[in-house]
Amino acid sequence: MTESQLREEICEIGRRMYQRQFCAANEGNISVRLDEERVLCTPTLRCKGFLNPADLCVVDLAGNQLAGELQKTSEILLHLQIYRQRQDIIGVVHCHPPHVTAFAITGEPIPMGLLPEPEVFLGEVPTAPYVLPGTQAFADSILPFVQKTNAIVLANHGVVSYASGLERAYWLTEILDSYCRILINSRALGVPKYFDGTQMRELLDLKERWGFADPRTTSKCPDDQLGNYPTFRSDWAASNVSPNAFKKP
Ligand SMILES: [Zn+2]
């Protein structure tokens, strides 16, 4: 894609994010890797639903602004951390979708083993500890997780997702918020019924055939533990997370 197409794509993803109420007012930020040294990102204090291609900023991997009339997003350090850690990543989306963020503020880990799509497209989604937004420490809070997943819940804040293309990065947030909305609805109706080990293994085999990496596949996790948070459970204490609404029987 040319830079001008990537500028259009960021504006389009901004419109979708705003229409789905993933970012109120001027919240949220989006970026795309232009080449080995430059990243295109949204400006600070602008509504993502009404961006023009000329509003975007270009920064280097140290966060210095190279081009753009408006000032770069205050969360650029988070985006740059992801591009530095993951050479395969082209697009990053950060926002505060209401259903995922409800899990983020209650310290409820994203439950597993309930629907096929989240297992295949998201896998186990970790929660990074709360850190003051906009700081280098905040950008560093994702370090324990960034290699093993493409979507991270940010405690008491929101979510960040990233992928080999910007639209794919955005899809992960959309899938996660849709899943969390279903989870919240399910609580009003009754008790969720979890997949068993055989059903989980079946889904992971399908995921492998479709070419999606999942740490649970390579770790040779026993079938009956696949839905029991095998990858990130050990990080829960540091992130102040524990299951309550979706505590497994
Ligand atoms: Zn934020």
Residue-by-residue DSSP string for 45-71: TS-GGG--GGG-EEEETT--EEE-SSP
pLDDT single digits (tens) 155-199: 999 999 999 999 999 999 999 999 999 999 999 999 999 999 999
> 95: CA distance to ligand 1 center in Å?
6
Task: Identify the helix (H) or strand (E) that includes residue 85.
Answer: helix 76-85
Lateral strand order in the sheet of 91-95? 65-67, 57-60, 38-41, 29-33, 91-95, 158-163, 151-154, 127-128
Q: Which residues line ion ligand 1, judged by CB < 5 Å?
A: 158
> 55: CA distance to ligand 1 center in Å?
19
> 41: CA distance to ligand 1 center in Å?
14
> 116: CA distance to ligand 1 center in Å?
28
> Strand, helix or coil at 41?
strand
- Specify whether the CB–CB gap between 47 and 26 falls below 8 A: yes
Confidence of residue 96 (pLDDT cuts 50, 70, 90): very high
| CATH superfamily, region 3-107+125-190 | Class II aldolase/adducin N-terminal domain (3.40.225.10)
Is the confidence at residue 207, as pLDDT, over 90? yes
Average pLDDT along the chain = 97
> 178: CA distance to ligand 1 center in Å?
19
Is the confidence at residue 12, as pLDDT, over 90? yes
> 141: CA distance to ligand 1 center in Å?
13
Q: What is the spatial distance between Cα 79 and Cα 229, in angstroms, rounded to a whole number?
A: 26
What predicted TM-score, i.e. pTM, was given to this entire model?
0.97
Domain ranges of the chain: 3-107+125-190
Confidence of residue 248 (pLDDT cuts 50, 70, 90): confident
Which pLDDT score is estimated for 218?
87
Confidence of residue 104 (pLDDT cuts 50, 70, 90): very high
Is the confidence at residue 249, as pLDDT, over 90? no
> 94: CA distance to ligand 1 center in Å?
6
> 47: CA distance to ligand 1 center in Å?
13
Over residues 119-131, the mean pLDDT reads: 97
Q: What is the spatial distance between Cα 169 and Cα 226, in angstroms, rounded to a whole number?
A: 24
How far lies 89's CA from each of 39, 84, 85, 176, in Å?
Answer: 11, 9, 9, 19
> 74: CA distance to ligand 1 center in Å?
9
pLDDT single digits (tens) 33-86: 999 999 999 999 999 999 999 999 999 999 999 999 999 999 999 999 999 999
Residues 6+ apart with CB under 8 A from 23: 17, 48, 95, 96
> 207: CA distance to ligand 1 center in Å?
30
Which pLDDT score is estimated for 32?
98
Q: What is the spatial distance between Cα 152 and Cα 56, in angstroms, rounded to a whole number?
A: 25
> 139: CA distance to ligand 1 center in Å?
11
Percentage, residues of the chain above pLDDT 70: 100
> 153: CA distance to ligand 1 center in Å?
11
> 119: CA distance to ligand 1 center in Å?
25
> Strand, helix or coil at 246?
coil
> 28: CA distance to ligand 1 center in Å?
6
